[in-house]
Amino acid sequence: MSLAVCVDLGSTFTKALLVALEDGAAGPAGTVLASASHPTTLPDAAGRGDLLDGYDACRAALAASYPCGSGADDVVVLACSSAGGGLRIGVLGNEALVTAEAGRRVALSSGGRVVAVHALAQDGTDPGALAAARPDVVLLTGGTDGGNPTPLVEGARVLAALARQGWDGAVVVAGNVDAAPAAAAVLEEAGLAHRTAGNVVPRIGVLAPASARARVRELFLAHVIGGRRLSRRPELPRLLRGATPDLVLDGVALLADVVGDVVVVDVGGATTDVYSATEVDPEHASREVVARTRLNRTVEGDLGMRWSAPSTVAAADDPGVAHDPALVAAAQRRADDPALLPATPEDQAVDLRIAEVAVRTAVRRHAGRFVDRDRDRTDGGGTDLREVALLLGSGGVLRHAGTDRSRAVLRAATGDAGAGPGGWLVPAAPRTGLDGSYVLAAVGLLAADHPEVARSLVRSLAAGAAT
Protein backbone atom coordinates (compact mmCIF):
# COMPACT_ATOMS: atom_id res chain seq x y z
CA MET A 1 0.00 0.00 0.00
CA SER A 2 1.29 3.46 -0.89
CA LEU A 3 1.41 5.64 2.24
CA ALA A 4 1.93 9.27 3.20
CA VAL A 5 3.31 10.64 6.44
CA CYS A 6 1.87 14.13 6.94
CA VAL A 7 3.82 16.10 9.53
CA ASP A 8 3.06 19.40 11.24
CA LEU A 9 6.23 20.74 12.90
CA GLY A 10 4.32 22.93 15.33
CA SER A 11 5.44 25.62 17.71
CA THR A 12 5.01 23.33 20.72
CA PHE A 13 4.20 19.85 19.38
CA THR A 14 5.13 17.95 16.25
CA LYS A 15 2.17 15.93 14.97
CA ALA A 16 2.18 13.20 12.32
CA LEU A 17 -0.50 11.21 10.54
CA LEU A 18 0.00 8.07 8.48
CA VAL A 19 -2.50 8.13 5.60
CA ALA A 20 -3.30 5.49 2.98
CA LEU A 21 -2.87 6.83 -0.54
CA GLU A 22 -4.62 3.88 -2.17
CA ASP A 23 -7.13 1.21 -1.21
CA GLY A 24 -5.77 -1.70 0.81
CA ALA A 25 -6.50 -4.22 3.51
CA ALA A 26 -6.44 -1.56 6.23
CA GLY A 27 -9.04 0.57 4.48
CA PRO A 28 -9.71 2.76 1.45
CA ALA A 29 -7.54 5.62 0.27
CA GLY A 30 -7.76 8.49 2.74
CA THR A 31 -7.85 6.26 5.81
CA VAL A 32 -5.79 7.53 8.75
CA LEU A 33 -3.85 4.45 9.77
CA ALA A 34 -1.94 5.87 12.74
CA SER A 35 -1.10 9.15 14.46
CA ALA A 36 1.68 10.35 16.73
CA SER A 37 2.89 13.48 18.48
CA HIS A 38 6.04 14.61 20.25
CA PRO A 39 7.18 17.91 21.80
CA THR A 40 8.79 20.01 19.08
CA THR A 41 12.58 19.80 19.30
CA LEU A 42 14.34 23.10 18.63
CA PRO A 43 18.09 23.72 18.84
CA ASP A 44 19.22 25.33 22.08
CA ALA A 45 21.40 28.42 22.35
CA ALA A 46 24.50 26.30 21.80
CA GLY A 47 23.03 24.73 18.65
CA ARG A 48 22.36 21.36 20.28
CA GLY A 49 19.27 19.57 19.08
CA ASP A 50 17.46 19.51 15.77
CA LEU A 51 13.92 20.24 14.62
CA LEU A 52 13.75 16.84 12.96
CA ASP A 53 14.48 14.93 16.17
CA GLY A 54 10.80 15.23 17.06
CA TYR A 55 9.90 14.09 13.57
CA ASP A 56 12.08 11.00 14.05
CA ALA A 57 10.24 10.23 17.29
CA CYS A 58 6.90 10.50 15.49
CA ARG A 59 8.07 8.21 12.69
CA ALA A 60 9.15 5.63 15.28
CA ALA A 61 5.76 5.85 16.99
CA LEU A 62 3.94 5.45 13.66
CA ALA A 63 6.05 2.39 12.88
CA ALA A 64 5.16 0.88 16.26
CA SER A 65 1.44 1.48 15.63
CA TYR A 66 1.49 0.39 12.00
CA PRO A 67 4.60 -1.68 11.22
CA CYS A 68 4.47 -0.96 7.48
CA GLY A 69 4.52 2.76 8.15
CA SER A 70 8.23 3.39 8.50
CA GLY A 71 11.15 2.85 6.21
CA ALA A 72 9.16 1.63 3.21
CA ASP A 73 10.16 2.86 -0.23
CA ASP A 74 6.59 3.86 -1.05
CA VAL A 75 6.14 6.21 1.91
CA VAL A 76 5.77 9.88 0.89
CA VAL A 77 6.65 12.42 3.59
CA LEU A 78 5.03 15.88 3.45
CA ALA A 79 5.58 18.49 6.16
CA CYS A 80 4.56 21.99 7.16
CA SER A 81 5.96 24.10 9.98
CA SER A 82 5.19 26.88 12.42
CA ALA A 83 8.20 26.05 14.59
CA GLY A 84 10.59 28.70 15.84
CA GLY A 85 7.89 31.36 15.95
CA GLY A 86 6.28 30.66 12.61
CA LEU A 87 6.32 33.12 9.74
CA ARG A 88 6.41 36.82 10.64
CA ILE A 89 5.07 39.01 7.82
CA GLY A 90 5.21 42.77 7.48
CA VAL A 91 3.24 44.77 4.93
CA LEU A 92 4.46 47.93 3.23
CA GLY A 93 1.85 49.58 1.03
CA ASN A 94 0.84 52.99 -0.19
CA GLU A 95 -2.73 53.81 0.92
CA ALA A 96 -3.83 52.44 4.29
CA LEU A 97 -7.31 51.54 3.04
CA VAL A 98 -6.28 50.14 -0.34
CA THR A 99 -2.92 48.51 -1.06
CA ALA A 100 -1.78 48.26 2.57
CA GLU A 101 -5.11 46.71 3.59
CA ALA A 102 -4.98 44.37 0.60
CA GLY A 103 -1.46 43.35 1.59
CA ARG A 104 -2.60 42.67 5.16
CA ARG A 105 -5.38 40.34 3.98
CA VAL A 106 -3.09 38.50 1.59
CA ALA A 107 -0.39 38.17 4.25
CA LEU A 108 -2.84 36.59 6.66
CA SER A 109 -3.95 34.11 4.01
CA SER A 110 -0.29 33.24 3.34
CA GLY A 111 0.18 31.54 6.68
CA GLY A 112 2.02 34.20 8.63
CA ARG A 113 1.44 36.36 11.64
CA VAL A 114 1.18 39.96 10.45
CA VAL A 115 3.50 41.83 12.78
CA ALA A 116 3.30 45.31 11.21
CA VAL A 117 1.45 47.21 8.47
CA HIS A 118 2.93 50.46 7.15
CA ALA A 119 1.25 52.78 4.64
CA LEU A 120 3.55 55.31 2.97
CA ALA A 121 0.81 57.85 2.23
CA GLN A 122 -0.34 58.00 5.85
CA ASP A 123 2.73 56.89 7.85
CA GLY A 124 5.58 58.42 5.84
CA THR A 125 8.88 56.91 4.72
CA ASP A 126 10.32 56.16 8.16
CA PRO A 127 8.96 52.67 8.94
CA GLY A 128 10.39 52.42 12.44
CA ALA A 129 7.57 50.19 13.66
CA LEU A 130 8.06 47.90 10.69
CA ALA A 131 11.76 47.52 11.41
CA ALA A 132 11.13 47.00 15.13
CA ALA A 133 8.68 44.17 14.36
CA ARG A 134 11.49 42.12 12.75
CA PRO A 135 9.45 40.59 9.90
CA ASP A 136 10.87 37.57 8.10
CA VAL A 137 9.13 38.60 4.90
CA VAL A 138 7.70 41.95 3.80
CA LEU A 139 4.88 42.03 1.29
CA LEU A 140 5.49 45.16 -0.78
CA THR A 141 2.36 46.54 -2.46
CA GLY A 142 1.44 49.79 -4.18
CA GLY A 143 -0.46 51.04 -7.18
CA THR A 144 -2.88 49.42 -9.57
CA ASP A 145 -1.59 48.01 -12.85
CA GLY A 146 -0.83 50.81 -15.28
CA GLY A 147 -1.11 53.43 -12.55
CA ASN A 148 1.42 55.61 -10.74
CA PRO A 149 4.72 53.64 -10.51
CA THR A 150 6.21 55.83 -7.78
CA PRO A 151 4.74 54.22 -4.61
CA LEU A 152 6.08 50.72 -5.34
CA VAL A 153 9.58 51.95 -6.16
CA GLU A 154 9.56 54.26 -3.14
CA GLY A 155 8.58 51.33 -0.95
CA ALA A 156 11.51 49.33 -2.33
CA ARG A 157 13.85 52.20 -1.46
CA VAL A 158 12.51 52.23 2.10
CA LEU A 159 13.24 48.51 2.43
CA ALA A 160 16.69 48.99 0.93
CA ALA A 161 17.38 51.58 3.62
CA LEU A 162 16.29 49.07 6.27
CA ALA A 163 18.72 46.56 4.78
CA ARG A 164 21.55 49.06 5.17
CA GLN A 165 20.54 49.33 8.85
CA GLY A 166 20.84 45.57 9.31
CA TRP A 167 17.46 44.08 8.35
CA ASP A 168 18.06 40.88 6.39
CA GLY A 169 14.56 39.68 5.64
CA ALA A 170 13.03 38.87 2.27
CA VAL A 171 10.54 40.74 0.09
CA VAL A 172 7.63 39.79 -2.14
CA VAL A 173 6.94 42.55 -4.68
CA ALA A 174 3.19 42.44 -5.37
CA GLY A 175 2.22 45.87 -6.70
CA ASN A 176 1.88 47.70 -10.00
CA VAL A 177 3.34 45.23 -12.54
CA ASP A 178 4.75 48.06 -14.63
CA ALA A 179 6.80 49.28 -11.66
CA ALA A 180 7.77 45.83 -10.36
CA PRO A 181 11.03 45.50 -12.37
CA ALA A 182 12.33 48.84 -11.10
CA ALA A 183 11.37 47.95 -7.51
CA ALA A 184 13.05 44.56 -7.85
CA ALA A 185 16.22 46.24 -9.13
CA VAL A 186 16.36 48.43 -6.02
CA LEU A 187 16.03 45.36 -3.80
CA GLU A 188 18.64 43.48 -5.82
CA GLU A 189 21.14 46.30 -5.40
CA ALA A 190 20.47 46.29 -1.65
CA GLY A 191 21.19 42.53 -1.47
CA LEU A 192 17.68 41.61 -0.29
CA ALA A 193 16.22 38.23 -1.18
CA HIS A 194 13.05 38.86 -3.15
CA ARG A 195 10.41 37.41 -5.46
CA THR A 196 8.08 39.21 -7.86
CA ALA A 197 4.38 38.30 -7.87
CA GLY A 198 1.28 39.53 -9.60
CA ASN A 199 -0.35 42.66 -8.25
CA VAL A 200 -2.61 41.95 -5.26
CA VAL A 201 -4.79 44.92 -6.38
CA PRO A 202 -4.59 44.90 -10.19
CA ARG A 203 -7.53 47.32 -10.25
CA ILE A 204 -9.80 48.91 -7.67
CA GLY A 205 -12.38 46.45 -6.36
CA VAL A 206 -10.27 43.36 -7.14
CA LEU A 207 -8.10 41.35 -4.73
CA ALA A 208 -5.82 38.74 -6.32
CA PRO A 209 -3.93 36.86 -3.57
CA ALA A 210 -2.85 33.63 -5.29
CA SER A 211 0.43 34.73 -6.89
CA ALA A 212 1.65 36.57 -3.79
CA ARG A 213 0.71 33.62 -1.55
CA ALA A 214 2.81 31.33 -3.73
CA ARG A 215 5.83 33.66 -3.61
CA VAL A 216 5.54 34.02 0.19
CA ARG A 217 5.51 30.23 0.45
CA GLU A 218 8.69 30.03 -1.65
CA LEU A 219 10.49 32.54 0.56
CA PHE A 220 9.32 30.81 3.72
CA LEU A 221 10.89 27.58 2.55
CA ALA A 222 14.06 29.04 1.07
CA HIS A 223 14.81 31.96 3.37
CA VAL A 224 12.99 31.69 6.68
CA ILE A 225 13.37 28.04 7.64
CA GLY A 226 16.94 27.82 6.40
CA GLY A 227 17.87 31.16 7.90
CA ARG A 228 16.79 30.09 11.37
CA ARG A 229 19.01 27.02 11.25
CA LEU A 230 16.36 24.88 12.90
CA SER A 231 17.88 21.75 11.41
CA ARG A 232 21.29 20.73 10.15
CA ARG A 233 19.82 17.87 8.16
CA PRO A 234 19.56 18.37 4.40
CA GLU A 235 16.17 16.68 4.03
CA LEU A 236 14.20 19.44 5.81
CA PRO A 237 13.78 21.67 2.72
CA ARG A 238 12.75 18.62 0.70
CA LEU A 239 10.07 17.62 3.23
CA LEU A 240 8.55 21.06 3.78
CA ARG A 241 5.69 22.36 1.67
CA GLY A 242 4.97 25.61 3.49
CA ALA A 243 3.91 27.32 6.69
CA THR A 244 1.33 25.38 8.68
CA PRO A 245 -1.41 28.05 8.60
CA ASP A 246 -1.02 28.36 4.83
CA LEU A 247 -1.56 24.62 4.36
CA VAL A 248 -4.43 24.58 6.86
CA LEU A 249 -6.18 27.29 4.83
CA ASP A 250 -5.84 25.06 1.76
CA GLY A 251 -7.46 22.31 3.82
CA VAL A 252 -10.29 24.62 4.89
CA ALA A 253 -10.92 25.51 1.23
CA LEU A 254 -11.30 21.83 0.34
CA LEU A 255 -13.52 21.22 3.36
CA ALA A 256 -15.80 24.04 2.19
CA ASP A 257 -16.07 22.39 -1.23
CA VAL A 258 -17.57 19.39 0.55
CA VAL A 259 -19.75 20.93 3.29
CA GLY A 260 -20.41 24.54 2.24
CA ASP A 261 -19.43 27.64 4.21
CA VAL A 262 -17.14 26.71 7.08
CA VAL A 263 -15.24 28.30 9.99
CA VAL A 264 -12.31 26.70 11.81
CA VAL A 265 -11.06 28.03 15.15
CA ASP A 266 -7.60 26.88 16.26
CA VAL A 267 -6.95 27.75 19.92
CA GLY A 268 -3.23 27.78 20.70
CA GLY A 269 -1.06 28.70 23.62
CA ALA A 270 -0.20 32.19 22.34
CA THR A 271 -2.71 32.92 19.55
CA THR A 272 -6.14 31.93 18.35
CA ASP A 273 -6.45 31.59 14.58
CA VAL A 274 -9.77 31.74 12.73
CA TYR A 275 -10.08 30.43 9.17
CA SER A 276 -13.19 30.82 7.03
CA ALA A 277 -14.32 29.81 3.57
CA THR A 278 -17.56 31.54 2.58
CA GLU A 279 -19.32 32.42 -0.62
CA VAL A 280 -18.93 36.10 -1.51
CA ASP A 281 -21.98 38.11 -2.57
CA PRO A 282 -20.89 39.53 -5.98
CA GLU A 283 -23.21 42.52 -5.68
CA HIS A 284 -21.82 43.49 -2.30
CA ALA A 285 -18.23 42.77 -3.31
CA SER A 286 -18.54 45.13 -6.27
CA ARG A 287 -18.95 48.05 -3.84
CA GLU A 288 -15.72 47.31 -1.98
CA VAL A 289 -12.49 49.23 -2.60
CA VAL A 290 -10.59 46.06 -1.67
CA ALA A 291 -12.73 43.09 -2.66
CA ARG A 292 -13.65 40.38 -0.21
CA THR A 293 -12.32 36.91 -0.88
CA ARG A 294 -13.72 33.44 -0.27
CA LEU A 295 -10.82 32.41 1.98
CA ASN A 296 -9.91 34.46 5.03
CA ARG A 297 -7.77 34.07 8.12
CA THR A 298 -7.24 36.20 11.19
CA VAL A 299 -4.69 35.76 13.97
CA GLU A 300 -5.51 37.08 17.43
CA GLY A 301 -2.19 37.55 19.21
CA ASP A 302 -3.82 38.44 22.54
CA LEU A 303 -6.00 35.33 22.74
CA GLY A 304 -4.48 32.04 23.84
CA MET A 305 -4.34 29.40 26.51
CA ARG A 306 -0.93 30.03 28.07
CA TRP A 307 1.27 32.97 27.07
CA SER A 308 -1.82 35.06 26.26
CA ALA A 309 -4.15 33.73 28.97
CA PRO A 310 -4.28 37.00 31.01
CA SER A 311 -5.19 39.13 27.99
CA THR A 312 -7.74 36.51 26.95
CA VAL A 313 -9.55 36.75 30.26
CA ALA A 314 -9.36 40.57 30.11
CA ALA A 315 -11.02 40.49 26.67
CA ALA A 316 -14.14 38.71 27.95
CA ASP A 317 -17.37 40.59 27.20
CA ASP A 318 -18.79 39.48 30.57
CA PRO A 319 -17.35 41.62 33.43
CA GLY A 320 -18.02 38.72 35.78
CA VAL A 321 -15.47 36.72 33.80
CA ALA A 322 -12.99 39.49 33.01
CA HIS A 323 -12.77 40.56 36.65
CA ASP A 324 -13.13 37.20 38.38
CA PRO A 325 -10.13 37.26 40.79
CA ALA A 326 -9.73 33.48 40.79
CA LEU A 327 -9.81 33.27 37.00
CA VAL A 328 -7.45 36.22 36.60
CA ALA A 329 -4.97 34.58 38.98
CA ALA A 330 -5.31 31.21 37.21
CA ALA A 331 -4.66 32.87 33.85
CA GLN A 332 -1.53 34.52 35.20
CA ARG A 333 -0.25 31.17 36.48
CA ARG A 334 -0.61 29.79 32.96
CA ALA A 335 1.33 32.70 31.48
CA ASP A 336 4.07 32.25 34.08
CA ASP A 337 4.28 28.51 33.37
CA PRO A 338 3.29 27.84 29.74
CA ALA A 339 4.12 24.14 30.14
CA LEU A 340 1.41 23.75 32.79
CA LEU A 341 -0.91 20.80 32.17
CA PRO A 342 -4.32 20.61 33.87
CA ALA A 343 -3.93 18.00 36.59
CA THR A 344 -7.33 18.31 38.29
CA PRO A 345 -10.96 18.75 37.17
CA GLU A 346 -10.76 22.31 38.49
CA ASP A 347 -7.75 23.04 36.26
CA GLN A 348 -9.58 21.56 33.29
CA ALA A 349 -12.62 23.71 34.01
CA VAL A 350 -10.45 26.84 34.08
CA ASP A 351 -8.88 25.92 30.75
CA LEU A 352 -12.32 25.51 29.20
CA ARG A 353 -13.48 28.90 30.53
CA ILE A 354 -10.44 30.57 29.00
CA ALA A 355 -10.97 28.65 25.75
CA GLU A 356 -14.59 29.78 25.60
CA VAL A 357 -13.54 33.43 25.83
CA ALA A 358 -10.83 32.91 23.20
CA VAL A 359 -13.20 31.22 20.76
CA ARG A 360 -16.08 33.66 21.18
CA THR A 361 -13.86 36.74 20.97
CA ALA A 362 -11.81 35.50 18.01
CA VAL A 363 -14.87 34.52 15.97
CA ARG A 364 -16.51 37.89 16.64
CA ARG A 365 -13.41 39.77 15.55
CA HIS A 366 -13.21 37.67 12.40
CA ALA A 367 -16.89 38.25 11.61
CA GLY A 368 -17.24 41.94 12.40
CA ARG A 369 -20.50 43.71 13.17
CA PHE A 370 -23.75 44.39 11.35
CA VAL A 371 -24.25 47.98 10.17
CA ASP A 372 -27.33 49.12 8.25
CA ARG A 373 -26.19 51.50 5.53
CA ASP A 374 -28.65 52.12 2.70
CA ARG A 375 -30.29 48.77 3.46
CA ASP A 376 -27.00 46.96 3.05
CA ARG A 377 -24.52 45.61 5.57
CA THR A 378 -20.93 46.58 6.07
CA ASP A 379 -18.64 45.64 8.89
CA GLY A 380 -15.28 47.28 8.26
CA GLY A 381 -13.71 44.28 6.56
CA GLY A 382 -15.11 41.40 8.59
CA THR A 383 -16.54 38.21 7.10
CA ASP A 384 -20.27 37.55 7.39
CA LEU A 385 -20.46 34.12 9.03
CA ARG A 386 -24.19 33.91 9.69
CA GLU A 387 -24.85 31.23 7.06
CA VAL A 388 -21.88 29.03 7.96
CA ALA A 389 -22.77 25.34 7.83
CA LEU A 390 -19.93 23.96 9.97
CA LEU A 391 -17.94 25.40 12.88
CA LEU A 392 -14.89 23.26 13.57
CA GLY A 393 -12.56 23.50 16.56
CA SER A 394 -8.87 22.62 16.78
CA GLY A 395 -6.05 22.95 19.28
CA GLY A 396 -4.85 21.06 22.30
CA VAL A 397 -7.36 22.41 24.80
CA LEU A 398 -10.32 21.28 22.67
CA ARG A 399 -8.74 17.98 21.70
CA HIS A 400 -8.12 17.06 25.35
CA ALA A 401 -11.58 18.24 26.38
CA GLY A 402 -13.28 15.67 24.15
CA THR A 403 -16.02 16.11 21.60
CA ASP A 404 -18.95 17.05 23.85
CA ARG A 405 -17.16 19.67 25.93
CA SER A 406 -15.37 21.13 22.92
CA ARG A 407 -18.70 21.53 21.14
CA ALA A 408 -20.05 23.39 24.15
CA VAL A 409 -17.10 25.78 23.91
CA LEU A 410 -17.71 26.30 20.19
CA ARG A 411 -21.41 27.01 20.70
CA ALA A 412 -20.42 30.05 22.79
CA ALA A 413 -19.39 31.68 19.49
CA THR A 414 -22.76 31.16 17.79
CA GLY A 415 -26.18 32.76 17.98
CA ASP A 416 -28.32 35.49 16.46
CA ALA A 417 -26.13 38.42 17.50
CA GLY A 418 -26.25 39.80 13.95
CA ALA A 419 -30.02 40.28 13.92
CA GLY A 420 -29.77 44.08 14.11
CA PRO A 421 -27.35 47.01 13.80
CA GLY A 422 -24.35 46.59 16.03
CA GLY A 423 -24.74 42.82 16.27
CA TRP A 424 -21.95 40.39 15.53
CA LEU A 425 -22.10 38.48 12.24
CA VAL A 426 -21.34 35.13 13.88
CA PRO A 427 -22.58 31.68 12.78
CA ALA A 428 -26.28 31.37 13.55
CA ALA A 429 -26.86 27.62 13.82
CA PRO A 430 -23.91 25.65 12.46
CA ARG A 431 -23.04 22.04 12.98
CA THR A 432 -20.06 21.81 15.31
CA GLY A 433 -17.18 19.41 15.29
CA LEU A 434 -13.59 18.82 16.32
CA ASP A 435 -10.45 18.31 14.28
CA GLY A 436 -8.93 16.28 17.08
CA SER A 437 -6.20 14.68 14.96
CA TYR A 438 -5.10 17.82 13.08
CA VAL A 439 -6.43 16.40 9.83
CA LEU A 440 -6.77 19.77 8.09
CA ALA A 441 -3.00 20.26 7.91
CA ALA A 442 -2.72 16.83 6.28
CA VAL A 443 -5.51 17.74 3.86
CA GLY A 444 -3.62 20.85 2.81
CA LEU A 445 -0.42 18.88 2.37
CA LEU A 446 -2.13 16.27 0.20
CA ALA A 447 -4.45 18.53 -1.80
CA ALA A 448 -2.08 19.35 -4.68
CA ASP A 449 -0.71 15.90 -5.52
CA HIS A 450 -3.37 13.61 -4.02
CA PRO A 451 -6.66 15.54 -4.31
CA GLU A 452 -8.98 12.53 -4.03
CA VAL A 453 -7.21 11.34 -0.88
CA ALA A 454 -7.53 14.83 0.56
CA ARG A 455 -11.24 14.87 -0.29
CA SER A 456 -11.71 11.53 1.43
CA LEU A 457 -10.09 12.94 4.56
CA VAL A 458 -12.36 16.00 4.65
CA ARG A 459 -15.46 13.87 4.04
CA SER A 460 -14.54 11.77 7.06
CA LEU A 461 -13.90 14.91 9.09
CA ALA A 462 -17.24 16.42 8.07
CA ALA A 463 -19.08 13.19 8.84
CA GLY A 464 -17.87 13.40 12.45
CA ALA A 465 -19.55 16.77 12.97
CA ALA A 466 -23.03 16.39 14.46
CA THR A 467 -25.74 18.99 14.87
Is 232 a residue whose pLDDT tops 70? yes
Task: Give yes or no: residues 78 and 91 share one domain.
Answer: no
> What pLDDT shows up at residue 373?
53
- Alpha-carbon Rg of the chain, whole angstroms? 22
Q: 399 and 302, same structural domain?
A: yes
407 with 310, same domain: the answer is yes
Residue 463 in any domain: the answer is no
Q: What is the pLDDT of residue 427?
A: 95
Question: If we measure between CA atoms, which residue out of 378, 298, 290 comes closest to residue 95?
Answer: 290
Domain end point (choices 212, 241, 270): 241
Average pLDDT value for residue range 216-227: 81
Domain assignment present for residue 467? The answer is no
With respect to residue 459, please indicate whether it lies within any of the assigned structural domains.
Answer: no
pLDDT computed for residue 237 by the predictor: 87
> Is 375's pLDDT higher than 50?
no
On whether both 135 and 279 belong to a single domain, the answer is no
Q: Is residue 458 part of a domain?
A: no
**Are 309 and 389 part of one and the same domain?**
yes
Residues pairing with 13 in the sheet? 39
Start-to-end CA distance of the chain, whole Å, equals 35
What pLDDT band is residue 72 in, cutting at 50, 70 and 90?
Answer: low
pLDDT digits (tens, 9 = 90+) for 197-215: 999 999 988 999 999 999 9
Contact of 115 with 133, CB cutoff 8 Å: yes
Q: Are residues 58 and 90 in the same domain?
A: no
pLDDT at 194 over 70: yes
For 399-433, what is each residue's pLDDT tens digit?
989 889 999 999 999 987 666 667 889 999 999 99
Report pLDDT for 372: 61
What's the domain count of the chain?
3
| pLDDT category of residue 374 using cuts at 50, 70 and 90 | very low
| Mean pLDDT confidence for 229-245 | 89
Same domain, 64 and 93: no
Residue finishing a domain among 203, 228, 253: 228
**Alpha-carbon gap, residue 225 to 237, rounded angstroms:** 8
Instruction: Let me know whether 51 and 197 are in one domain.
Output: no
SS3 (DSSP) at 187: helix
**Which pLDDT score is estimated for 381?**
58
Summarize pLDDT for 298-310 with one digit per residue, the tens. 999 899 999 999 9
pLDDT at 369 over 80: yes
Rounded CA separation 185/232 (Å): 32
| Position 369 in a domain | yes
Q: Note whether residue 156 is domain-resident.
A: yes
Q: For 262-288, how does the pLDDT look when each residue is reduced to its tens digit (9 = 90+)?
A: 999 999 988 999 999 999 866 655 556
Do 120 and 177 share a domain, yes or no? Answer: yes
> How many angstroms separate the CA atoms of 280 and 289, rounded?
15
Same domain? For 190 and 176 the reply is: yes
Average pLDDT of the chain, as a whole number: 90
Half-sphere exposure of 199 (CA within 13 A, CB side): 25
- Give the model's pLDDT for residue 86: 81
Q: Characterize 426-456 residue by residue with b for buried, 16 or more Cβ atoms within 10 angstroms of its Cβ, and e for exposed.
A: bbeebbbbbbbbbbbbbbbbbbeebeebbbb
Task: Find, among 129, 258, 146, 128, the residue nearest to 199 by Cα.
Answer: 146
Q: Is the pLDDT of residue 352 over 70?
A: yes
Residues 414, 271 share a domain: yes
Residue-wise pLDDT for 120-176, tens only, equals 999 998 888 898 999 999 999 999 999 999 999 999 999 999 999 999 999 999 999
Q: What is the CATH number of the domain that holds 11?
A: 3.30.420.40
d(CA 218, CA 211): 11
Tell me which residue range forms the domain holding 287: 261-436
Is it the case that residue 195 has pLDDT exceeding 50? Answer: yes
Q: Which residues contact 414 (CB under 8 A, 6 or more apart)?
A: 391, 426, 427, 428, 429, 430, 432
Of 207, 228, 249, which residue constitutes the final position of a domain? 228
The pairing of strands 262-267 and 390-394 is parallel
What mean pLDDT comes out for the span 72-100?
A: 89
Does 271 share its domain with 347? yes
43 in any annotated domain: yes
CATH number at residue 147: 3.40.50.360
Distance CA 23, CA 451 (A): 15
